[in-house]
Amino acid sequence: MNHDDLGGGLAANALYEMVIAREHGDWTAAHATAKAISSHPVTAHPAHANLFRGAPAVAYVLHIAGHPAYARSLAQLDTETAAIVTDRLDAAHRRMAGGRPPRLREYDLISGLTGLGAYLLRRGRDNVLERVLRYLARLITEPLTVDGHQVPGWWAATDPRDAVGTGRFARGHANFGIAHGVAGPLALLALARRAGHIVDGQDDALAAGITHLTAWAQPFDNGSIGWPELLPLDAYRKGPRPGTAPGRPSWCYGAPGIARALQLAALALRDDTARRLAEHTALQAVTDPRQTTQITETSVCHGWAGLLLTADRIAAEAALPDLTDALPSLHPHLESRPVRHETTEDAGLLTGNAGVLLTLHTLHTARPVDPGWETCLLLN
């Protein structure tokens, strides 16, 4: 189990203990987990470190703690993270100058600059954050050409696993999800704007993202609406088409995560039409049995925890109360499933117990001391 892994390792356990300590005032367990994740070297290599692994992941956990005991370690990790971001941005701008499409890991939430930007937003590192925002604005607004066809600047050169594309993904793909696709940069740009961080091109990027997601919203044969998770070039060139059946309503790739990104962007630009689309889609995601029956586990990434937390955050800012009214009946799906004994396979924020426990705690705490841990999911 990796000590500096937020997605699937000990750093997620530490994040949970930090949130609990801030609520209850007992720091015994939190200090023990902080020691476990910081007493060994953490990776700071730009090719490997990101929001969910290495120096930025540990820094995120210590920042959420907000405890003075971690100030010195956090300052050092801040310096390392800023250097990682600078290296990543330099590489991204070189790639842009060459007119080549990016890999997912260049810009996405899990491995790329969107995730690092989420840390900077939470941490308040304004100068470095604004460089990331300018990059993301360019990513969304400056199209590319692939095999003679215009595609958006976030078109991935790789397959969905971020490996060299083969077969139908030989010319890359469009990824719509919040974890790996365009919804992630869109959500970060919107959250940053809400926090007062505005750069040239940001509103244009938000508008372009709204236009794209609105155009690609798919009506399904049962009346629900969703988005394609990803598209190879041939399918993308054909343009939006009605879908045959809705997909799994997951945070990572599914309609809820994309809907939250669209809602945030719509609120930022006061686009009521896009806001209604986002909120209506989220409502359908939790009330359509064809969607909810595809959720078979509890995790944040693609289980009940992610669906309920995302829907709860959308509901909190929705124009109508329908979504809020629909959620209580779904809570037993998460609450009735026992958290498994902690093993290597069970650890982590995205696919393990820590994410489930954090979600349960957050949904059941009327006024949490600080809900900001969700920034790593781009929900709040």
| Phi, psi at 219, each rounded to 5° | -75, 135
13-22, 181-190, 221-230: least confidently modelled range: 221-230
The residue type at 75: A
| pLDDT score for 2 | 85
| 126-141 helix and 202-215 helix, angle to the nearest 10 degrees | 40
Give the tokens for residue 144.
Answer: 């590319």
Tell me, yes or no, whether 24 lies in a domain: yes
Tell me, yes or no, whether 29 lies in a domain: yes
Tell me, yes or no, whether 100 lies in a domain: yes
Q: How many domains, the chain?
A: 1
Tell me, yes or no, whether 45 lies in a domain: yes
| pLDDT score for 335 | 85
The predicted model scores a pTM of 0.96
pLDDT tens across 27-68, in order?
Answer: 999 999 999 998 889 999 999 999 999 999 999 999 999 999
| pLDDT score for 344 | 46
Instruction: In whole angstroms, give the CA distance from residue 377 to residue 374.
Output: 5
Residue 1: band (very low, low, confident or very high) from pLDDT cuts 50, 70, 90: low
For residue 369, pLDDT over 80 is answered with no
Give the tokens for residue 365.
Answer: 């705490």
For residue 159, pLDDT over 70 is answered with yes
Tell me, yes or no, whether 5 lies in a domain: no
The residue type at 58: V
Q: Which residues contact 79 (CB under 8 A, 6 or more apart)?
A: none
How much of the chain exceeds pLDDT 70, in percent? 96
For residue 123, pLDDT over 80 is answered with yes
Q: If we measure between CA atoms, which residue out of 294, 261, 277, 181 comes closest to residue 225?
A: 277
Q: Comparing 144 with 336, which gets the higher pLDDT?
A: 144
Tell me, yes or no, whether 149 lies in a domain: yes
92-106, 220-234, 294-308: least confidently modelled range: 220-234
Tell me, yes or no, whether 1 lies in a domain: no
Instruction: In whole angstroms, give the CA distance from residue 104 to residue 106.
Output: 5
Q: Which residues contact 253 (CB under 8 A, 6 or more apart)?
A: 176, 177, 179, 180, 181, 229, 230, 247, 302
Mean local confidence (pLDDT), 161-169:
91
User: Running DSSP on this structure, what letter comes out for residue 181?
Assistant: S
Tell me, yes or no, whether 203 lies in a domain: yes
Range of the domain at 307: 10-377
Q: If we measure between CA atoms, which residue out of 175, 180, 130 comes closest to residue 152?
A: 175
Instruction: In whole angstroms, give the CA distance from residue 116 to residue 344.
Output: 25
| Phi, psi at 132, each rounded to 5° | -65, -45
Instruction: In whole angstroms, give the CA distance from residue 86 to residue 297.
Output: 38
3-state secondary structure of 348: coil
CATH number reported for the structural domain that contains residue 198 in this entry: 1.50.10.20
For residue 370, pLDDT over 80 is answered with no
Q: If we measure between CA atoms, which residue out of 175, 179, 104, 107 comes closest to residue 138?
A: 107
For residue 341, pLDDT over 80 is answered with no
| pLDDT score for 338 | 53
Residue with tokens 């409502």: 283
126-135, 177-186, 344-353, 358-367: least confidently modelled range: 344-353
